[in-house]
């Protein structure tokens, strides 16, 4: 690669065990006086804890974040924020909550502090998404980037093994697509390779020994690297498929990425030799796509789209939507090949 452009994304990271205690300092550093804490209902206890840490700088808690950020959810959060006079957002949780904070930042420009509790890595990207009438619209805007990310591995210790596995494979998918993106650079390629290596080593340990603090920290580091790669490159077929599946059928986000990942890798990697070589090194294998499928199997994630509730009759309209507005991809996407890929992913064939 003789020439490239690398555009670094501005990001402040606070990393380490016990880092949650520093969230108030990050809010104060941004000059926020009334930050609204965001969470899903399941993460309400953590949100209340964060609000307590913020003290007088907390405007309260909104705990209705949902997958794929429905427009109605963003409307409701915005209304609560306006009523309480919020001047910023603290997103505590996984991709659903961080996605909501991004949508709110896109609308009003108020800053976000992210406190991730899963391995999805979305806190590192300027990519936002909103879902309305079964269609997920996505875009890229630096205004949605969190101003600070507080990574505390302790917050992941109670994460169920299944969520750890699927969210980690979601992050791996970010790095895999970054490796064959048209705007990949040597910097991003190195980050992607290391991120995949970190997560591939950490996730089996996390699933088998959930209390392993070192593996939890390594997993968060891998998620950080993989997310940053997606934030700096163009998305391809994998993310297009997952966005369509999620928006159209309201599928669980991380599980969808985990199912689709090895199938799109098998489709694209023959057309992306440098990406394939990087993944062979990261996964210590001669067949990266097979190794990704094997990793998912070892982690116990769903293997087929039908396991997530997709009907075989849904596949043609999924293909229609993917082909209507295709993403950049290293290998041309034709309808027969896309339908074959979808059927393999639906059945869970390796």
DSSP 297-313: HHHT---SGGGGT--GG
Q: Specify the pLDDT at position 66.
A: 95
Q: What is the mean pLDDT of residues 288-315?
A: 96
Position 255 pLDDT exceeds 60: yes
Does domain 161-347 fall under CATH 3.40.50.880? My reply is: no
Whether 113 has a pLDDT exceeding 90, the answer reads: yes
> Could you tell me whether strands 127-132 and 112-116 are parallel, antiparallel, or unpaired per DSSP bridges?
unpaired
Q: How large is the average pLDDT for residues 315-344?
A: 95
- Comparing CA positions, the residue from 155, 143, 148, 159 lying closest to residue 23 is 148
Q: Which of 3, 1, 11 is nearest to 229 (CA)?
A: 11
Output the average pLDDT for the chain: 95
Percent of the chain with pLDDT over 70: 99
Identify the weakest region by mean pLDDT among 21-30, 131-140, 237-246: 131-140
Cα 10 to chain centroid distance, Å, stands at 18
- The CATH number for 12-156, chosen from 3.40.50.1970, 3.40.50.620, 3.30.70.1350, 3.40.640.10, is 3.40.50.1970
How far apart are the C-alpha atoms of 95 and 118, rounded to whole Å?
8
pLDDT tier, 21 (very low <50, low <70, confident <90, very high otherwise)? very high
Question: pTM for the complete prediction?
Answer: 0.91
Q: Which residues pair with 88 in a beta bridge?
A: 35
- pLDDT category of residue 143 using cuts at 50, 70 and 90: very high
57, 69, 105, 247, 328 from 86: Cα distances, Å: 10, 20, 12, 29, 38
Segment 144-183, tens digit of pLDDT: 999 999 999 999 998 999 999 999 999 999 999 999 999 9
Count of all residues that appear for the chain in the document: 350
- At 2, is the pLDDT very low, low, confident or very high (cuts 50, 70, 90)? low
Residue 136 pLDDT exceeds 90? no
151/133 Cα distance (integer angstroms): 34
Enumerate the domain spans of the chain: 12-156, 161-347
The percentage of residues in the chain with a pLDDT greater than 90, rounded to a whole number, is: 89
- Rounded Cα–Cα distance for residues 177 and 235 (Å): 7
Q: What is the mean pLDDT of residues 337-348?
A: 96
Of 36-45, 243-252, 294-303, the range with the lowest mean pLDDT is: 243-252
Segment 240-252 shows an average pLDDT of 92
- 349 confidence band (pLDDT: 50, 70, 90): confident
What would the pLDDT profile of 183-230 be if each residue is shown by its tens digit?
Answer: 999 999 999 999 999 999 999 999 999 999 999 999 999 999 999 998
Instruction: State the pLDDT at residue 10.
Output: 74
């Amino acid at each position: 690669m003789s020439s490239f452009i690398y555009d670094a994304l501005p990001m402040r990271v606070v990393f380490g065990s016990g880092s949650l205690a520093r969230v108030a300092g990050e809010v104060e550093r941004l000059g926020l006086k009334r930050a609204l804490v965001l969470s899903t209902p399941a993460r309400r206890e953590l949100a209340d804890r964060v609000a307590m840490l913020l003290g007088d700088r907390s405007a309260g808690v909104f705990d209705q974040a949902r997958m794929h950020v429905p427009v109605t959810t963003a409307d409701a959060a915005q209304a609560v924020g306006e009523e309480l006079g919020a001047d910023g957002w603290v997103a505590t949780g996984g991709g659903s909550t961080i996605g909501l904070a991004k949508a709110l930042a896109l609308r009003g420009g108020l800053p976000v502090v992210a406190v991730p509790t899963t391995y999805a890595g979305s806190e590192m990207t300027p990519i936002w998404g909103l879902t309305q009438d079964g269609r997920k619209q996505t875009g890229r805007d630096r205004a949605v980037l969190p101003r600070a990310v507080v990574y505390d591995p302790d917050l992941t210790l109670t994460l169920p093994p299944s969520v750890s596995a699927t969210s980690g494979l979601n992050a791996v998918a970010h790095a895999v697509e970054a490796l064959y993106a048209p705007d990949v650079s040597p910097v991003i390629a190195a980050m992607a390779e290391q991120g995949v290596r970190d997560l591939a080593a950490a996730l089996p340990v996390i699933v088998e020994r959930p209390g392993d603090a070192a593996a939890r920290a390594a997993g968060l580091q891998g998620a950080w690297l993989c997310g940053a790669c997606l934030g700096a490159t163009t998305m391809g077929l994998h993310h297009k498929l997952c966005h369509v599946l999620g928006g159209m059928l309201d599928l669980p986000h991380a599980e969808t990425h985990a199912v689709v990942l090895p199938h799109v890798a098998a489709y694209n990697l023959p057309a992306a030799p440098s990406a394939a070589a990087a993944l062979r090194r990261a996964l210590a294998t001669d067949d990266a796509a097979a190794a990704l499928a094997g990793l998912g199997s070892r982690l116990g994630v769903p293997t087929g789209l039908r396991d997530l509730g997709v009907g075989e009759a849904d596949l043609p309209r999924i293909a229609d939507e993917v082909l209507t507005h295709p993403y950049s991809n290293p290998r041309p996407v034709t309808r027969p090949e896309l339908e074959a890929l979808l059927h393999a992913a639906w059945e869970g064939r390796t």
